[in-house]
């Protein structure tokens, strides 16, 4: 029996099933011994050297972090660079519509409690970004890599990750990504190509359940669902599911699986009933969910729980998210919201506060040109709270807020919005390109 077959069979025996008894206990399976990364062939070595040089020049010339250009050049020289650089490592891939960057950073920090780990922390989440991250330390035994939802299948064609995290699926960049059903089907194909990987998946999202249900080794995380409008119908047959907070079961056989981990108001409970406290620097329920995914991955790979949680708990920002920065002569906290699901989480985070609030929306290529999703966001929670809006689509946002009966003032840019805000530390909620530009400005 080959090692891959044996690992797959053992993983299948550990996988939760609908028939598992209620008194099941979740156990940590020790990771296999770490292997040395294989010696690079000459072509790969040249590709890595050229990629590193390109990344370094990009940073020195102020053209970017080098998180893409180095990997892109390396792949042009050695098309098999990703497969070669991943060989011999324990790689964790993190995908989903929301929370990829933060969860990837949590995973990377947890893994570093045991051994060196590389990560694409800049958010370059396609193949060139993966190569760029892996070539920074070819000897690192661990890697935590964020991957775009539609590119996971390309990754699993190249190599089999040790762990794959599936966070959630919601509508986002419809003009680029397409409908959620397309993404869910792509994830399902990706998992079929990696039968030996341990999948850690969101059991509260029917789209994720559809993608992972047939995989032989799945750990199911339950963190609750706030944004439900993309999961009202069965992704397998189209039948109406309704309230996904209950233990739903569709006539076609797709059903909400039993939870291996359940996120609470203070931490997470494993299937055996033990409570694991999550003392996080990052705010909100959404980050307890992210941390639970990261903890489950770290434990599967043999990391110590206390050491992993200590490192996760020290994370106070993730690529600028939740960070307090200096803009227009005053402090401001930056929050990223790029689609209805993430806007819902960020509005919940600032709900009840009295700090000034600035909302910024662009519609550039990286955001998606379609901003009709603004009408799906429950801005009504901001009623009676003064808001200033800015960005390329400030007027569209102002119209939406007017219908939500939220008082707002339109500003020509973020500086003007901040200058006109009341005293205090404003919360600036911005979508992708607006957020990226503000982070870049704050680091100059």
Residues contributing to the annotated binding site for Zn(2+): 234, 237, 250, 252
Q: How many CB atoms lie within 10 A of CB 136?
A: 18
Q: How many CB atoms lie within 10 A of CB 105?
A: 24
H or E segment and range at residue 387: strand 387-390
Strand locations in 167-319 (E): 198-202, 218-222, 261-263, 267-270, 275-277
Each as own residue / partner, the long-range contacts of residues 267-270 (CB below 8 Å, 24 or more positions apart, any chain) are 268/292, 268/295, 270/26
Each as own residue / partner, the long-range contacts of residues 376-379 (CB below 8 Å, 24 or more positions apart, any chain) are 376/171, 376/229, 376/340, 377/340, 377/343, 377/344, 377/347, 378/344, 378/347, 379/347, 379/404, 379/406
> From CA 212, how far away is CA 207, in angstroms rounded?
9
Please enumerate, by residue number, every residue annotated as part of a binding site.
234, 237, 250, 252
Helices (H), 23-176: 42-60, 69-77, 81-86, 100-112, 127-134, 152-158
Does the annotation mark 396 as catalytic? Answer: no
Residue whose entry in the numeric block shows the structure tokens 């309704």: 242
List the end-to-end C-alpha distance of the chain, in Å, as a whole number.
56
Backbone phi, psi, residue 388, to 5° = -115, 140
Contacts of 408 (CB under 8 A, 6+ apart): 359, 386, 387, 388, 389, 397, 398, 401, 402
Q: Tell me which DSSP letter residue 280 carries.
A: -
Out of 370, 378, 384, 396, pick the active-site residue.
370
H or E segment and range at residue 394: helix 394-403
* Exposed / middle / buried, residue 323 (Cβ in 10 Å: 0-12, 13-18, 19+): middle
Q: For the chain, percent helix, then strand, then coil, each to nearest 5?
A: 40, 15, 45
Residue positions annotated with a catalytic role: 370
């Amino acid at each position: 029996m080959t090692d891959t077959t044996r690992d797959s069979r053992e993983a299948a025996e550990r996988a939760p099933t609908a028939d598992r008894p209620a008194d099941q206990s979740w156990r940590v399976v020790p990771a296999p011994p770490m292997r040395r990364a294989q010696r690079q062939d000459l072509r790969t070595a040249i590709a890595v050297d050229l990629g590193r040089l390109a990344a370094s020049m990009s940073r020195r010339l102020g053209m970017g972090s080098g998180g893409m250009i180095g990997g892109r050049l390396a792949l042009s020289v050695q098309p098999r660079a990703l497969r070669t650089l991943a060989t011999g490592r324990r790689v964790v891939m993190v995908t989903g519509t929301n929370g990829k960057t933060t969860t990837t950073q949590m995973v990377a920090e947890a893994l570093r409690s045991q051994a060196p780990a590389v990560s694409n922390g800049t958010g370059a989440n396609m193949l060139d970004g993966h190569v760029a991250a892996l070539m920074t330390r070819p000897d690192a035994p661990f890697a935590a890599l964020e991957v775009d939802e539609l590119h996971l299948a390309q990754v699993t064609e190249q190599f089999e990750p040790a762990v794959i995290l599936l966070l959630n699926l919601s509508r986002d960049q419809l003009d680029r990504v397409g409908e959620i059903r397309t993404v869910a089907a792509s994830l399902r194909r990706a998992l079929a190509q990696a039968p030996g990987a341990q999948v850690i998946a969101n059991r509260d999202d029917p789209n994720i359940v559809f993608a992972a249900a047939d995989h032989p080794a799945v750990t199911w995380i339950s963190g609750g669902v706030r944004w439900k409008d993309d999961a009202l119908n069965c992704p397998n047959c189209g039948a109406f599911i309704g309230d996904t907070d209950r233990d739903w079961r569709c006539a076609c056989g797709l059903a909400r699986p039993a939870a291996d981990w359940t996120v609470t108001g203070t931490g997470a409970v494993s299937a055996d009933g033990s409570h694991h406290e999550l003392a996080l620097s990052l705010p909100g329920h959404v980050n307890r969910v992210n941390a639970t995914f990261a903890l489950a991955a770290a434990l599967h790979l043999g990391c110590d729980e206390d050491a992993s949680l200590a490192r996760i708990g020290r994370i106070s920002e993730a690529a600028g998210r939740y960070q307090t920065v200096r803009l227009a002569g005053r402090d401001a906290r930056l929050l990223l919201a790029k689609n209805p699901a993430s806007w819902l989480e960020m509005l919940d985070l600032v709900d009840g506060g009295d700090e000034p609030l600035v909302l910024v929306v662009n519609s550039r290529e990286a955001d998606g040109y379609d901003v009709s999703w603004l009408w799906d966001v429950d801005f009504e929670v901001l009623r009676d709270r003064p808001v200033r809006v800015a960005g390329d689509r400030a007027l569209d946002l102002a119209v939406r807020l007017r219908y939500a009966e939220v008082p707002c003032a339109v500003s020509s840019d973020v500086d003007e919005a901040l200058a006109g805000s009341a005293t205090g530390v404003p919360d600036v909620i911005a979508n992708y390109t607006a957020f990226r530009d503000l982070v870049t400005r704050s680091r100059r």
